[in-house]
Amino acid sequence: MVTMDKKSFKKAYVNKFLEMHGIELKEGTNQQKYEALGSLVRDYVTRTWLRTNKKYNKTGEKQVYYFSMEFLLGRLLGDALLNIGIRDICKEGLAELNIDLQELENLEEDQGLGNGGLGRLAACFLDSMASLNIPGHGCGIRYKYGFFEQKIIDGKQVEVSDDWLRHGNVWERRNSNKAEIVRFGGDIKVEERNGRLTFVHVNYAPVLAVPYDTPIVGYKNGIANTLRLWSAEAVSNEFDFSSFSRGDFLKAIEYKNSVESISQVLYPEDSFYEGKILRLKQQYFFVSAGIQSIIRHFKKHGGNIFELDDKISIHINDTHPTLAIPELMRILLDEEGLAWEDAWRITEKTISYTNHTILAEALEKWPIDMFKSLLPRIYMIIEEINRRYCEELWSKFPGQENKISRMAIIGNGQIRMAPLAIVGSHSINGVAKLHTEILKKKEMSDFYYLYPNKFNNKTNGITHRRWLLKSNPKLTQLLCETIGDGFIKHPLDLQNFENHLNDTSVLDRLAKIKFENKQKLAKIIFQNQNISVDPKSIFDVQVKRIHAYKRQTMNCLRIMDLYNKLIDNPNLDIHPRTFIFAGKAAPGYYLAKNTIELINNVADKINNDSRVNDKIKVVFMENYRVSLAEDIIPGTDVSEQISTTTKEASGTSNMKFMMNGAITVATLDGANIEIKDEVGDDNIIIFGLNADEVLNYYRNGGYSALEMYNNDLRIKNVLNDLINGKYHNDRDRFKSIYENLITYNDEFFVLKDFDSYLKAQDKIDKLYRNKREWQKMCGVNIAHSGIFSSDRTIEQYATGIWGSEVLYKNL
């Protein structure tokens, strides 16, 4: 926490500006003003950061390292101001200098180093660890290009590279003196030294891993943890151009390019695995650099390697950083000289793993040949892990060959990352109750039988500091006035808000705040998409990655159905609605891209049909990202969480919406179940097949999409509309969607759930008309959202998995 008054802030700011840009403030551009503010705030944070690191080194507290291929931080300025406690001073001070803080904040590029849920979860966790005084740090890759920028041209998604470092990045600090060398390729020479076999890596290609550190500031507690992102560079003496002959010169350039490509770009697929060698290089690159630097730091401060697991926890975010297991083994065996048994015990106790998906197509596996030539020593270690583990399996399950080959780490010419992660960690968790149950009973049942005590659930959460305090200041103000500000440190206290829901003046204010947030969103929609929408209409929102299992198609089909109904009956009595979509499709995912195009064409048709325009509008907002989510979520009435049951591991936007007083329309999937349990059946709209029904269909068949088509005229009509030229001159345009539903029998039960989805939407329409009841429902959702703060989640990780001390209790 930084203490200062407005006057000294203003003085410091004006000085900073002058010093940085050499001109007077009033002559500066907004970009320059943003840079000066960022730099000033960074200076404030730096002192806290230094103090925190000193404290950690002195006290020897257990350090947690969260390894993740993705950290989807978004913008940092607003958060930093909030957390160091000078946001108001800064806002007022700047206003006196005729500067609008919000305008400067909007100039910051999003740090978009993630695809979606998994990356944003990592960012929320960093915020919570810092705010709960937990020494917890992030380790990942500093991609030169983050998640692509999405443009919509002629209704279609076009990908533009995300050059987020274009204007520099005030938050990061390059630490060349803490670089590490990561070794690829080459050969392993086995030698006997003092009676012990040693493994010497020769002829390898070295890559320099340079860390860029970003401080992660806790909420008003004087703590700043570290997010360390690694950048790949050529080792300088490997390409000393002047000393090369022409042939070597070209080779040197090739080497440099291939090295730099490692941290060049984030893979934009989030649910489909492809065995690309570059992705494997990325994984080993940051994992190896990260573990080497952890051990180096640990030893420098006098750590005893046999106590590593007492002092350090390494958490892997999905299987992407699983090579942390053999890499830690390599260091303990080859560099520290430990016996296998000791190294293995320490590794298993140090590492823990979270699973985020049960989609079979997302499971990581690597071809042995590729793996072996890229990482020869790591491969040997995995072979030995597998050999010992299979021995254990043989003795536990004699004669059960099929089971053992199913469970093995190496099989079918491939290395399977999930089994490796399970065997090498002491804890495996799912991210919501249903998800964990499915892992235990179905997807990982063999492993659960073998290691029942390793499995546990940690339902996801979101940081209420960004997703309530920062993004919805008006609601925060109302909460502070009614229940006090205790909920900021103890989010469960939001429950007290329920006591105020019989007070009509509170409900009036709640409605007014929602309306103002909708006005703000309407303005942004107009600026970005050039569509005018009525803030008095229901804002019905689905924003997330575009994926068949998330069923944006079902949402779009019900809009097409409603449109048909309105044309048939212009007097149809519905409350006006605005349907808002946003989200990116993986560039190679044709069906998802086709869905975006369909939504845009439906939007075009409806928005230009004056017969229905006072009733419905459809908007697809371009380039969904963290900062846009912060604008959309506070202005939402209805939150669409409509995945096919069993497919969404948890979902986290569902939590953000409820915290901002939206009503959820949901299947009983992922964390929607916990949300329902919290708010009760009357404050959420549930529809669709339940998990048992879905699993039963997958197991035994018996579902016919064609039957649905033939027996339900509404379905028949909207499906015909996909291919009759209504939404596109080219009748084949949306054929892939049509075929997926009919020819391929609707894998995600869109048609099966359609009727109950429409009924759920009718219910919403009726509920919305009873203003008071609606406002109360919103209030109940807000009051019960505290449990979904990531502070709760992190406390559970800390006490249940990492064994770290939690200094302030929030439960």
Report the nearest approach of ligand 26Q to the CB of residue 686 (Å): 18
The pair of three-digit structure tokens given for residue 234, joined into one six-digit string: 């050529």
Q: 3-state DSSP helix/strand/coil percent for the chain, to nearest 5?
A: 55, 15, 30
Element (H, E) at 190: strand 187-193
3-state SS, 501-531, equals CCCHHHHHHHHHHHHHHHHHHHHHHHHHHCC
Q: Which one of the spans 44-52, 263-271, 293-301, 467-475 is the region binding ligand 26Q (CB under 6 A)?
A: 263-271
Which tokens in the block code for residue 424? 């090498």
173 is catalytic: no
- List binders of ligand 26Q among 742-771 (CB under 6 A): none
Residue 656 falls in the annotated catalytic set: yes
- Residue 465 near residue 219 (C-beta atoms within 8 A): yes
The answer to whether residue 117 forms part of the interface with ligand 26Q (CB under 6 A) is yes
Nearer to ligand 26Q by C-beta: 108 or 364? 364
C-beta separation of 801 from 313 below 8 A: yes
Question: Out of 288, 322, 627, 650, which residue is the one contacting ligand 26Q (CB under 6 A)?
Answer: 650
Q: What are phi and psi of 187, to 5 degrees?
A: -130, 160
> Of 38-46, 269-277, 340-348, 788-796, which part binds ligand 26Q (CB under 6 A)?
269-277
256 in catalytic set: no
Shortest Å distance, C-beta 273 to ligand 26Q: 4
Judged by CB under 6 A, the stretch of 37-45, 116-124, 132-140, 726-734 that binds ligand 26Q is: 116-124
β pairing state of 63-67 and 136-141: parallel
Examine residue 691 and tell whether it contacts ligand 26Q (CB under 6 A): no
Helix (H), strand (E) counts: the chain: 33, 25
Smaller CB distance to ligand 26Q: residue 430 or 535? 430
Q: Interacting stretch for ligand 26Q, rule CB under 6 A, among 228-236, 337-345, 614-622, 649-657?
A: 649-657
Residue choice 357, 594, 664, 789 for contact with ligand 26Q (CB under 6 A):
357
Q: Which residues contact 39 (CB under 8 A, 6 or more apart)?
A: 16, 20, 170
Stretch that binds ligand 26Q, among 34-42, 142-150, 419-427, 646-654 (CB under 6 A): 646-654
In angstroms, the CA 676 to CA 688 distance is: 14
Residue from 116, 661, 688, 786 in contact with ligand 26Q (CB under 6 A): 116
Q: Residue 235: which of 259, 251, 254, 212 has the closest Cα? A: 259
Q: Which of residues 287, 649, 684, 737 is near ligand 26Q by CB under 6 A?
A: 649
Sequence-distant (6+) residues with CB within 8 A of 28 are 17, 21, 36
| Least gap, CB of 117 to ligand 26Q (angstroms) | 3
CB of 116 to ligand 26Q, least distance (A): 5
For this structure, is 550 an active site residue?
A: yes
Helix spans in 625-690 (H): 626-632, 653-659, 672-679
Nearest-approach distance from CB 634 to ligand 26Q, in angstroms: 20
Q: Does 549 bind ligand 26Q (CB under 6 A)?
A: no
Task: Pick between residue 460 and residue 607 the one whose CB is nearest to ligand 26Q.
Answer: 460
545, 577, 617, 647: which is the annotated catalytic residue? 545
Residues that contact ligand 26Q, how many (by CB under 6 A): 23
Nearer CB in complex with ligand 26Q: 28/583: 583
Annotated catalytic residue: which of 356, 365, 465, 509?
356
Residues in Cβ contact with 726 at an 8 Å cutoff, skipping those fewer than 6 apart: 605
Q: Please confirm, yes or no, whether 320 is among the known catalytic residues.
A: no
Q: How many CA atoms are closer than 13 Å to the CA of 523, on its beta-carbon side?
A: 7
Give the one residue of 248, 260, 269, 384 binding ligand 26Q; rule: CB under 6 A.
269
- Smaller CB distance to ligand 26Q: residue 518 or 792? 792
Among 68, 214, 221, 460, binds ligand 26Q (CB under 6 A): 460
Residue 103 or 274 with smaller CB distance to ligand 26Q: 274
Options 83, 115, 639, 646; binder of ligand 26Q; rule CB under 6 A: 115
Nearest residue (CB) to ligand 26Q, 1 versus 362: 362
The residues, any chain, with a CB within 8 Å of residue 95's CB and separated by 6 or more, are 101
CB nearer to ligand 26Q: pick between 283 and 594: 283
Tell me, yes or no, if 311 is annotated catalytic. Answer: no
Q: Which tokens belong to 737?
A: 């969607």
Q: Among residues 347, 578, 646, 652, which one is catalytic? A: 652
Closest separation in Å from C-beta 590 to ligand 26Q: 17
In 312-339, which positions are buried (b, 16+ CB within 10 angstroms) versus exposed (e)?
bbbbbbbbbbbbbbbbbbbbbbbebebe
Of 273 and 340, the one with the shorter C-beta distance to ligand 26Q is 273
Q: Which residues pair with 191 in a beta bridge?
A: 198
629, 581 contact by CB (below 8 A): no
Query: Which of 270, 309, 348, 791 touches ligand 26Q (CB under 6 A)?
Result: 270
Q: Which residue's beta carbon is nearest to the bound ligand 26Q?
A: 117
Give the strands of the sheet with 410-411, arranged side by side.
Answer: 365-367, 414-416, 410-411
Sign of the CA dihedral with 230 first, then 232, 238, and 240 last: negative
Indicate the angle between helix axes 771-783 and 750-769, nearest 10 degrees.
Answer: 110
411-450 positions binding ligand 26Q, by CB under 6 A: 431
Q: How far is the CB of 785 from ligand 26Q (least distance, A)?
A: 16
State the residues that interact with ligand 26Q by CB under 6 A: 115-118, 121, 267, 269-271, 273, 279, 356-357, 362, 364, 431, 460, 648-652, 670
Q: Which residues are catalytic?
A: 356, 544-545, 550, 652, 656
